[in-house]
Structure 1
Amino acid sequence: MGSDDLFKKRREERQKRTFEYKPSRANSFLIITEGEKTEPLYIRGLAKLIEDKLGGSVDVYEMPLIDVTGEGCATNKLIEKTEEIVNKAKVIYQNIWVVFDKDDFTDFDQAIINGRSKGYHIAWSNQSFEYWLYLHFEYSDSALHRKEWVKKLNKSFKEYGLGNGTYQKNYKDIYSMVNSNEGVKNAINNAKRRMSQFDEKKNKPSEFNPGTTMHLLIEELKKYLDE
């Protein structure tokens, strides 16, 4: 092998090593959601508030990185998709969250176990994300089908004059809408109240209806607003 070929080979090897190297990013969040509309729009609304608050602050050592993506798949398929995204990412995320619902999936509990075994945080809702949204307005421990939560949200949106008076999945400002009258604070408190009855050693998430751990994720993000 000539000197030129050897130089080319070594350069290619260095470039490959550079490509494979993933820096660890502090204050970073990768949030993968089941839904492609409501969940990512809600979380991005909060992320935008964080960016607006911290963007001009000279006291912030490092701005949080909050990447949100809605994948349109659920439970174990979403865990697999998350692993694929993590492996292809150019950075090592400090916090990886997976957001999905019980709905009618039979592998709900196993998906939570599988996700946690990979080091992911799981924000689950039983039956649906709409239960978490309803907690912004009222507390409830009624075991309802996801369609019933949509009906209850329709009443709340009409009562509070939100959007066009009905709940829709594609409201871009869904976070600010449900945060009227300290809605997010109410939702966190209501979720804590409900989940205080949940014993992970005795209860399966699939059997705890209604239930949600969305407040755990939102509290982590809201720290940047509340500091």
Structure 2
Amino acid sequence: MAKRGRKEKDNWKKKRRQEYLEKKEFRYYIFCEGQATEPKYFEGFKRYIEDNPIYRDMVLIEIEGCQAETMRVIGKAEEYVRKNKIAKGQIWCVYDKDSFPASDVNGVVQRAEVLNQKNPDVQYYAAWSNECIEFWFMLHFAYYTANNHRSEYKKFLNEKFQELGIGKYEKNMDNIFEILMNDGNPKLAIRYARRIIENGKGKTPAEIAPGTKVHELVEELAKYLPEEVRVLF
């Protein structure tokens, strides 16, 4: 009897969760290569959106830290969609080029294009950074086009943070969203990222160095932020 009771309780939870999901008009499933740096950044959007009385009951944001690279990120996203029977939503894969082969970095975009032919209600997007997410962070402070090693981006951030009196830049910072929003310039970062992508038109993600498409996900989520925050984007 006890076992059956637990099963019934689990089924009830699943049913309630499904009902909760179906009430949300806008759904974003974000799969991050890392388990902390990127998830903590996007958790900032989630916090502010869930505090926004206008959109909090309309927008679903789920963030998964995959601890996986390039093609494995979209593989985990596909598995999640299949396992949870996701019937509607935007599936975002956030990943870095780092030192991975160009075929893998570009392969996520190619795989997304294939998957997007199958179901118009479930669409996949690649929010890549070449070389790393720190390049997107750096654009909040400067327009930068030098194709340097990712260690230079972290060095830049470290110096900028110390200059601003924030302290040393660290990966996995809990307040990275607020730092970039309040001490950096998200609006300029978006403009810079767009310009770099436009200048690299016709090139693959691996060939746009440095570059990022994280701004496309940021623009999507920024639509639902409270007005006093949204104006910064």
Contact 2:129 2:214 in 1 (8 A): yes
8 A Cα contact 1:26 1:93, kept in partner = no
Task: Map 1:1-227 to 2 at 5 A.
Answer: 25-54=24-53, 57=54, 60=55, 62-89=57-84, 91-106=86-101, 107-119=104-116, 120-162=124-166, 165-181=167-183, 183-199=185-201, 202-225=202-225, 226=230
The one-letter amino acid paired with 2:31 is: I
Please give the alpha-carbon distance, in whole angstroms, between the structure 2 residues aligned to 1:42 and 1:149.
Answer: 17
Q: Secondary structure at the match of 2:80?
A: helix
How far is 1:50 from its partner?
Answer: 1.0
**1:102 positional shift:** 0.7
Bigger shift: 110-119 or 67-76? 110-119
- TM (norm. structure 2) is 0.80
**How does the TM-score come out when normalised to structure 1?**
0.82
SS in 1 for 2:173: coil
Deviation at 1:144, TM superposition (A): 1.1
C-alpha distance 61-203 of structure 1, shift in aligned 2 (>3 A): closer
Equivalents in 2 of 1:48, 1:151: separation in Å?
Answer: 29
Which AA in structure 2 matches 1:174? Answer: I
Deviation per CA, 1:123-144: give whole Å up to 9, x if none.
0110110100000111101101
Displacement of 1:91: 4.1
Which secondary structure does the structure 1 equivalent of 2:89 belong to?
strand
**C-alpha distance 161-117 of structure 1, shift in aligned 2 (>3 A):** farther
- Match of 1:142, SS state, is coil
Deviation at 1:223, TM superposition (A): 0.5
- What secondary structure, in the 3-state scheme, does the structure 2 residue paired with 1:209 have? coil
Instruction: Name structure 1 gaps, 5 residues minimum.
Output: 1-14
TM superposition shift of 1:42: 0.3
State the Cα distance separating 1:90 from its structure 2 match.
5.3
Residue type at the aligned position of 1:157: F
Q: What amino acid sits opposite 2:198 in the alignment?
A: S
Query: 2:141, 2:46 → 1: CA distance?
Result: 21
- Unaligned runs of 5+ residues in structure 2 are 1-10, 117-123
Distance 1:67 1:133 in 2: 21
User: Percent same amino acid among aligned pairs?
Assistant: 37
**What amino acid does structure 2 have at the position aligned with 1:85?**
Y
Deviations along 1:155-205, one digit per CA (max 9) or x if unpaired, are 11111122xx11111211110011124522221111112222021xx3121
Q: CA deviation at 1:26?
A: 2.1
